[in-house]
Structure 1
Amino acid sequence: MKLKLLLFAVTITYLSFSQSYNPAMPVSKSDLELTSYAKDSTANALVIYDYGNSFVDNSTFWLRVQIQQKIKILRTEGIDRGEFEVKLYKGKSSKEKILNIRGATYNLENGKTVKTEMTPDAIFEEDNEKYILVKFVLPNVKVGSVITVSYETHSRFMAKYQPWYFQGPDPVLYSEYNTSIPANYDYHIKLVGGIPLEVEDRRLERNCLTVGNGGKADCTVSKYVMKNIPAYKPEGFTTTALNYTARIEYELNEIKTFDGRVDKLSKTWANVDKELRTDSDFGKQISKKSLVKNLLPSTIAAIDDELEKAKTIYQFVLDNYKWNGKFERYDVSIKDLNKEKVGSAFEINLLLENLLSSEGFKVFPVLMSTRANGLATKIFPVLTDFNYVILKITINDKDYFLDATDPYLSFGELPFRCLNQYGRLIDFEDGSYWQNIEVENHSSRQHRVKLSSFEDEVFSGIIESKYSRYHAHNLKRRYDENKQDYKESKINTYSDIEITNHEVLDFDKTNSEFNEKIDISLTPEYIGNKIYLNPFLIKFFEENPFKLQERTYPIDFGYKDAYSYALLIELNDNLKVVEVPNAINYSLPNKSGVFIFNVEQKDNILTVYFKVSFDFAIYAPEFYEHLKRFMNKVVETQKNSVIVLENQ
């Protein structure tokens, strides 16, 4: 990259911001005296005012975007908010411009407001083939400062109208976006995120744009406002932030020229289906018997049972082809895959489609977007939203989703990256449609502990563990790749117990379960003749994963989840139960989850039972406080439960 000084003196004379100046920008003494934000005590900075104005210039016909911001620095970690970056895109014949960059820092010194303006030498450009990155740094920024910045960009690229992000890493008191869009530009407009608009006004402005030969265009003038917007803070159990960050996006649908011509840019799904049918990387790679002729052994082709046959074909692909870790939808060649035995997800799964369809199965590819790639828009077709393909097959009236990239998945299981709500099923005969992608069954983790002997102040017993579905995948992989390392890591996992023997039971990497058994010894805590024992030799949750004051996006586990734990203590003649924890039965709203904890004695067996179940794969943000309280109870129970026994 080439680093050079931006010619600030030239740009400062190019435009004036007087017409878009807003009285909210001046910095008041109360702004400077602010020390915290009541609604978010952890905020590093607070955006007091965020303003945008986008319109097409009446003389140049470029898209002009005017930006103004006022930000309060609350903590040391927020000082870097005084560093700005603006990306300007470059095309073959044009590039975006930035103009009239202004910035200032305000501090309170000895009770007086001191303003320090940004100088030209604080503005730089980094230039590469695809874009120009403009950077500028405001002076004298520290905790307590208020900074203001304004600039304008010019762009000839109207295919994507300037989006607007209401939400970012800091809370925002007020965010306003104004647009003026000529009627000859028709955009699909999408509001992303779950935060409602405070203001959404639209009006028609006549003859807002004048072109040569007396042509005029009306404009749709819009104003969007959000207030008191919480920061977007990343936390576990979610997909990419792009799914949920509050913003407005635009996708150009069509352009109407002044001579009456209409250029249609966006497509219908019927158009896309036709395009995909003839696509050399997709349609021409599907249901082609010639691509897989004589590939399957005759023993597989001879299987009569449909489900068994489909499973065997699926396993054939897993055993003979390896995924290269790539997702690309382009340069797909099943012919090359058959030669190299290594290929992309598209190549491997479309090979599986060919093998299944060649044996008479009704199977469909499902285009989808992975969790890290974001949700595909349903408003209009955008093929670039899709970065992955899986298959749907129906056998004996039951649907199965298939992906042959991972040898540790069972038939009908998808990689976790594919649990992203829905995809587009491609049916070239009857037309494509949206297909929900849901995991029906719970994935579970179960531990059954039995302490059957107490001699010389030491308990002896066994732990039997069963992991199913998504809890089993990684364990199967780790064990299969290095059994010795796996066993050693298991021994090091439990610091409070001694493992005397470890055994994995009936290992099969294609099975949806992973089962193991360990023999243990445990030395409990003694005070006098009393034994104090935390019954949770294995803890599911060391801490509450939900820590935010407010979360505006869903809690996405990907699948339904269940944890169960049982401890059985055989009480010999010398052991007497003195004290046990209280029982708990706690539920999430709408029967969406349950936490059960119970201790009971029957004859000479003391049984501890613990169960946590999350019965939704995805919880709406409204559940967040409920989930936080729920998990607090779970973690507290695991950490602080004590059984008191007396050794007589």
Structure 2
Amino acid sequence: MHKLTLFLLFCLLGLAVKAQKPDTAAVFSSQPYGKVDIADLKLTTCDFEKDANAMVLFDKTNVNTGLSSTAVLRHVRIKILTTKGTDQANVTISYVSRHGVESVGDVEAETVNLDDGKITYLKVDKSQFFKQVADKNIKKITFTFPQVKVGSVIEYTYTLTLDNEGIFPAWDIQQDIPVKYCELNAAVRNEYSYKIIPHVLGVYEKKTHEPWIKGKRDTIGIKYAWALKNIPSFTDEPYATSRQDNLQRIRFILSSGRFSPNSNHPRLWMNWDYLRYTIMNDRDFAMELTQKLHDADNIIAGAKAFTTDEEKTSYIFNKIKSDIKWNGENVWFTREGIKKAWDKKQGNSAEVNLILYRFLKQAGIKCSPLFVSTRDNGKINTSYPDINAFNKIVVSVTLSRKNYVLDACSKFNTWTDAPFEILNTTGFFIDPDNTGVNLLVPLKNDNPSRKVVFVEATIKPNGKLEGNTQVNRFSYARKNSLEKYEKLGEKKYVDALRDDDNNLKITSYKRENVEKDSLPLIERFDFQLDLTSSDDNYIFINPNLFTSFRTNPFLSEGRNSAIDFGSLNYYAINGVYKIPAGYITESLPKATSLMMPDTSITFKRIVAEQEGLITVRYTINYRRAVFPADEYPGIRDFYKKMFDLLNEQIVLKKE
């Protein structure tokens, strides 16, 4: 596939013939640039987010859809509240520069200070606006405000021109700092209509539309206005999906335009069938699906030496995974083509997985390219066929009526488990041999990730615990551990097993089944733990060891985003503790169970004593991976009770 043929066709949504820029200022009144209220300069805190280091006083945007381009005028004003807030003085404006698709102009910026009761204005000199090339498609304009300090107000304004017919940029309402007021005014010509998709949690301060009248009576479109105030800063919440999914914003999806049915323009309101048809009829993409690769015959012969399709798939997958290195780039298009990537033994995600597709296809395995969006890229809108929503190609394989999703980019991936990074998203089939399949498929794995812990320890009368542990990790638990070990190295990885417990020391460590991805990863290590709460008469032991359940992630009273654990999960913690001579059991945690009302998460605990040994078993089972935000109160309550139970202690008393 040519590296930008389809990218420009869809990601940039079709180049239109350049025309004179629409006059946004003629439609909307000018912004009050350079007129700062003294009250804003005297402001010391954000009244709706007291610990904010800075706040957006206002962020005003005007959008005007012209007949061949869209003009955007933006004006931002920010108040610096603390020394840390001075980081806001560094600004970057990014835009798609390839083929002049987008351009930025009329940039102005200034620092406003109040010194001894006098307002001073210091403009950013034009020479200090630096244009940088981020990559082949993106450019950036960066600048830094001068003399910024606590109390400063900084503001900037610029115009963005999009030379794409009918395109309407998304309006981001929320930012990394709180926003006191934001407003969008849009002038939409009659030639276009949009599906408006809001993700707004607050109440609109303004939400209007009225005829856009030119001259005395001619209605040429509709003028819209939206405004909100007191928007909190965006914060990442535990087990949330991407920023793209959770940021408060409004998207505008072109649903109809002025193109004729026979126009050569890509129809932005097309269905998924049309998008598939367009991709499959792209010459460069189609060529990649039939590309001949050197040394293919040897690999295919090796695969055909096996009897079953499962064995052939495993052989080819592991061969590609080990022979070609992923360069770290996730994209849905090739840059140099799979032939060059195979020769170099390195490529981006599309190149690696299309090479995998070619070998599987030649071995007679039923397979198809599958366009996906990774969890950090954001989920696709299934009602809007947009190739730019995807950022990766993987391979769908059907064996004995069971579907598998393969990604050869990570050496720790297995062919039997769908990549964790695409779980709970939607894939888009591009099957060159079958037009009757469902084009959109939910991506999930019904087999849980499992972690099983075995602890055998002796309780010492001096208030110490000494023993050994075995941890068996299956599926994603295995993959995560292997990736973490490679990233940190053994010393830091072993240290991380302590989970920040300074009283815990790991004295030996070894692993098994590292290279055998069909078997669980087994970790064995010896440990010593100081039981610091113990005294001359009592010993206190918390059997919640090496479990990953040391800190409750759901303490906040409220939550805005869905909870997405990724996979289903199962944990089992088994412990055997030998009581020291001269001590008896004062109290043991009672056997108990806890479950969500729909049994989506269950917790069970069994504790018993026999012949000087205390046995403990905890099991935690997740039968759902995703919980919408409105179920958070139930999750929070369950987790509080579960962590209370996990942290109940065994108490021994000296005889």
TM-score calculated relative to the size of structure 1: 0.78
Counterpart in the other structure of 1:283: 286
Counterpart in the other structure of 2:304: 301
Q: Amino acid of the residue matched to residue 55 of structure 1?
A: N
Q: Amino acid of the residue matched to residue 205 of structure 1?
A: W
Deviations 1:164-214 (A, max 9, x none): 22111123344321111112245554435766756543333344799xxxx
Q: How far 1:442 sits from its partner (Å)?
A: 2.0
5+ residue gaps, structure 1, are 1-13, 211-215
* 1:578 pairs with 2:589: no
Q: Distance in 1 between matches of 2:590 and 2:90?
A: 54
SS state of the match for residue 256, structure 1?
A: coil
Q: Distance in 2 between matches of 1:255 and 1:613?
A: 51
Q: Distance in 2 between matches of 1:441 and 1:132?
A: 44
**Is the alpha carbon distance of 1:293 and 1:88 closer, same or farther for their aligned partners in structure 2, counting shifts above 3 Å?**
closer
Counterpart in the other structure of 1:475: 481
Q: Distance in 2 between matches of 1:89 and 1:326?
A: 18
Q: 2:435 aligns with which of 430, 434, 440?
A: 430
Q: After the TM superposition, which residues 349-428 of structure 1 pair with which residues of structure 2 at under 5 Å, given as runs?
A: 349-419=353-423, 421-428=425-432
Counterpart in the other structure of 2:12: none
Q: 1:608 aligns with which of 600, 603, 616?
A: 616
Q: Distance in 2 between matches of 1:341 and 1:62?
A: 42
Counterpart in the other structure of 1:540: 548
Deviations 1:551-580 (A, max 9, x none): 433333322233332222244764310133
SS state of the match for residue 231, structure 1?
A: coil
Q: Distance in 2 between matches of 1:374 and 1:95?
A: 23
Q: Distance in 2 between matches of 1:18 and 1:362?
A: 57
* 1:317 pairs with 2:320: yes
Counterpart in the other structure of 1:7: none
Counterpart in the other structure of 2:352: 348
**Is the alpha carbon distance of 1:326 and 1:280 closer, same or farther for their aligned partners in structure 2, counting shifts above 3 Å?**
farther
**Is the alpha carbon distance of 1:503 and 1:490 closer, same or farther for their aligned partners in structure 2, counting shifts above 3 Å?**
farther
SS state of the match for residue 282, structure 1?
A: helix
SS state of the match for residue 228, structure 2?
A: strand
Question: Greater shift after overlay, 427-436 or 601-610?
Answer: 601-610
Q: Amino acid of the residue matched to residue 63 of structure 2?
A: S
**Is the alpha carbon distance of 1:195 and 1:367 closer, same or farther for their aligned partners in structure 2, counting shifts above 3 Å?**
farther
Deviations 1:11-56 (A, max 9, x none): xxx9899935689x97485994664534x34332344544333236
- Contact residue 180 and residue 222 of structure 1 kept, 8 A: yes
* 1:183 pairs with 2:190: yes
- Contact residue 310 and residue 399 of structure 2 kept, 8 A: yes
- Contact residue 281 and residue 331 of structure 1 kept, 8 A: no
Counterpart in the other structure of 1:137: 145
- Contact residue 46 and residue 73 of structure 1 kept, 8 A: yes
* 1:464 pairs with 2:456: no
- Contact residue 484 and residue 493 of structure 2 kept, 8 A: no
SS state of the match for residue 129, structure 2?
A: strand
Q: Distance in 2 between matches of 1:404 and 1:529?
A: 58
Q: 2:161 aligns with which of 134, 155, 169?
A: 155
Q: How far 1:355 sits from its partner (Å)?
A: 3.2
- Contact residue 66 and residue 189 of structure 2 kept, 8 A: no
Q: How far 1:519 sits from its partner (Å)?
A: 4.4
CA RMSD of aligned residues (A): 4.5
**Is the alpha carbon distance of 1:453 and 1:379 closer, same or farther for their aligned partners in structure 2, counting shifts above 3 Å?**
closer
**Is the alpha carbon distance of 1:365 and 1:232 closer, same or farther for their aligned partners in structure 2, counting shifts above 3 Å?**
same
Deviations 1:391-415 (A, max 9, x none): 2222222221112233333332233
Question: Greater shift after overlay, 131-140 or 612-621?
Answer: 131-140
Q: How far 1:546 sits from its partner (Å)?
A: 4.8
Q: Distance in 2 between matches of 1:337 and 1:261?
A: 36
Deviations 1:120-151 (A, max 9, x none): 659842134665626463766525x6x47474
- Contact residue 365 and residue 390 of structure 1 kept, 8 A: yes
- Contact residue 93 and residue 141 of structure 2 kept, 8 A: yes
**Is the alpha carbon distance of 1:67 and 1:489 closer, same or farther for their aligned partners in structure 2, counting shifts above 3 Å?**
closer
Q: Distance in 1 between matches of 2:160 and 2:341?
A: 46
Deviations 1:290-345 (A, max 9, x none): 98863346564254434334333433434544434344422464444554444443
Counterpart in the other structure of 2:628: 620
Q: Distance in 1 between matches of 2:297 and 2:642?
A: 56
Question: Greater shift after overlay, 164-173 or 370-379?
Answer: 370-379
Question: Greater shift after overlay, 496-505 or 396-405?
Answer: 496-505
- Contact residue 367 and residue 425 of structure 1 kept, 8 A: yes
Q: Distance in 2 between matches of 1:270 and 1:284?
A: 20
Q: How far 1:384 sits from its partner (Å)?
A: 3.2
SS state of the match for residue 277, structure 2?
A: helix
Question: Greater shift after overlay, 192-201 or 434-443?
Answer: 192-201
SS state of the match for residue 52, structure 2?
A: coil
Deviations 1:215-242 (A, max 9, x none): x771122122334422211344334322
Deviations 1:465-494 (A, max 9, x none): 111111111434677999976997589888
Question: Greater shift after overlay, 235-244 or 439-448?
Answer: 235-244
**Is the alpha carbon distance of 1:174 and 1:528 closer, same or farther for their aligned partners in structure 2, counting shifts above 3 Å?**
same
- Contact residue 405 and residue 417 of structure 2 kept, 8 A: yes
Q: Amino acid of the residue matched to residue 247 of structure 2?
A: T
**Is the alpha carbon distance of 1:149 and 1:484 closer, same or farther for their aligned partners in structure 2, counting shifts above 3 Å?**
closer
Q: Distance in 2 between matches of 1:100 and 1:520?
A: 61
**Is the alpha carbon distance of 1:208 and 1:85 closer, same or farther for their aligned partners in structure 2, counting shifts above 3 Å?**
farther
Counterpart in the other structure of 1:6: none
- Contact residue 73 and residue 160 of structure 2 kept, 8 A: no
**Is the alpha carbon distance of 1:34 and 1:334 closer, same or farther for their aligned partners in structure 2, counting shifts above 3 Å?**
closer
Q: Amino acid of the residue matched to residue 47 of structure 2?
A: Y
Q: How far 1:437 sits from its partner (Å)?
A: 0.9
- Contact residue 449 and residue 463 of structure 1 kept, 8 A: yes
- Contact residue 559 and residue 629 of structure 2 kept, 8 A: yes
Counterpart in the other structure of 1:213: none
Q: Say how many residue pairs are matched.
A: 619
- Contact residue 303 and residue 363 of structure 2 kept, 8 A: no
- Contact residue 47 and residue 72 of structure 1 kept, 8 A: yes
- Contact residue 211 and residue 221 of structure 2 kept, 8 A: yes
5+ residue gaps, structure 2, are 1-23
* 1:444 pairs with 2:454: no
Counterpart in the other structure of 2:567: 559
Q: Amino acid of the residue matched to residue 465 of structure 1?
A: V
- Contact residue 599 and residue 608 of structure 1 kept, 8 A: yes
Q: Distance in 1 between matches of 2:102 and 2:279?
A: 32
TM-score calculated relative to the size of structure 2: 0.78
- Contact residue 292 and residue 339 of structure 2 kept, 8 A: no
Q: Distance in 2 between matches of 1:293 and 1:97?
A: 48
Q: Amino acid of the residue matched to residue 218 of structure 1?
A: I
Q: Distance in 2 between matches of 1:85 and 1:290?
A: 43
Counterpart in the other structure of 2:258: 256
Counterpart in the other structure of 2:64: 55
- Contact residue 56 and residue 179 of structure 2 kept, 8 A: yes
- Contact residue 163 and residue 248 of structure 1 kept, 8 A: yes
**Is the alpha carbon distance of 1:243 and 1:452 closer, same or farther for their aligned partners in structure 2, counting shifts above 3 Å?**
same
Q: After the TM superposition, which residues 105-120 of structure 1 pair with which residues of structure 2 at under 5 Å, given as runs?
A: 105=112, 115-119=119-123
- Contact residue 254 and residue 263 of structure 1 kept, 8 A: no
Deviations 1:48-94 (A, max 9, x none): 54433323689xx9755444555554443334446655457767679
Q: Distance in 1 between matches of 2:87 and 2:486?
A: 46
Q: Distance in 2 between matches of 1:207 and 1:224?
A: 22
- Contact residue 405 and residue 419 of structure 2 kept, 8 A: no
Q: Distance in 2 between matches of 1:69 and 1:283?
A: 46
Counterpart in the other structure of 2:247: 245
Q: Amino acid of the residue matched to residue 117 of structure 1?
A: Y
Identity %: 21
Q: 2:208 aligns with which of 187, 194, 201?
A: 201
Q: Amino acid of the residue matched to residue 513 of structure 1?
A: P
Q: Amino acid of the residue matched to residue 441 of structure 1?
A: N
Deviations 1:397-448 (A, max 9, x none): 2221112233333332233333361111112331561111112122122212
